Amino acid sequence: MYMSIKEIIDAANERQKPIYELAIEQEIEQTRASYEEIWSKMEKNLATMENAAKKSTEGNGVFSPTGLSGGDAVKIKRYRESGKTLSGDSMMFGVQNAIGVNEVNASMGVICATPTAGASGTIPGVLFSIQESLQLSHEDKVHFLFTSALIGMIVANNACISGAFGGCQAEVGSASAMAAAAAVEAAGGTPQQSSEAFSTALQNLLGLVCDPVAGLVEIPCVKRNAIGTANALVAADIALAGVTNVINADEVIEAMFRVGRQMPSELRETGLGGIAATPTGIAIKSKIFGEKVIKKER
């Protein structure tokens, strides 16, 4: 079982295999399931992402029970169609899907946690952003998910992917780095370039706090997936350009873990700090849960 990004990159180079093949091999070895069974499960994950992204832009979109989030994926789609985007149609298509998938999550719809529900829009956002420009086949998209999954396992085993433990850097940060690494491989980059993209992406979001308003995975979680998507795409391009990092991927993972442990509990998914503690954030919580809950916490 691979225990570091370096082990994955070394194995990919030595065996002349893409990262996704290493992921499938490890899964077969660990689960004793057949290639067909493992492939089928990942196809189901892809279908879940595609269905969520599609659902988010049907009609007026989807909305959460609280009314705090929803409908923004449709707005972005219409904005894209105007042809006036500042960051380009491809980037905004990724953002549209990242926000859309998270809106489906907030509306109690079916999503694929990648690696968590709160970060579920980042990986599909990146994948769907590049699928047309790279002319990715169905198989290519499944490969993308296997690559991101193997990289994500390293983060989970050596640090954390929980906002409650490590802040949003552990959720959207990890998802963004996973997607960046997979995007590089999908674009024909080297295993080392995938590692560089991962390192850049996670460094960029190091220290990102988890401060959900009213403790719900809506504000600012939904929009943070948009930033995670954009960050991953930029990190992937930087790596493909040949830019490297002084701090390698495994050391960045260690740093993220330490930063998470140093964060006060108020900034780790408790809804007691950050924007959750603003007057508006407190008022929203009071409206949803009642004044008695707020007074009791104080």
The predicted structure's pLDDT at residue 133: 97
Q: Any idea which architecture 5-270 has in CATH?
A: Orthogonal Bundle (1.10)
Instruction: Give pLDDT < 50 ranges for the chain.
Output: none
d(CA 89, CA 142): 23
d(CA 33, CA 26): 11
The predicted structure's pLDDT at residue 186: 98
Helix spans in the chain (H): 5-15, 19-31, 35-56, 72-81, 89-106, 122-130, 138-158, 163-166, 172-186, 191-204, 221-240, 249-262, 279-289, 291-297
What are the extents of the domains in the chain?
5-270
Helix, strand or coil, per DSSP, at residue 138 = helix
156 within 8 A of 115, measured Cβ to Cβ: yes
Q: What is the pTM of this model?
A: 0.96
The predicted structure's pLDDT at residue 21: 98
The string of pLDDT tens digits covering residues 1-27 is 999 999 999 999 999 999 999 999 999
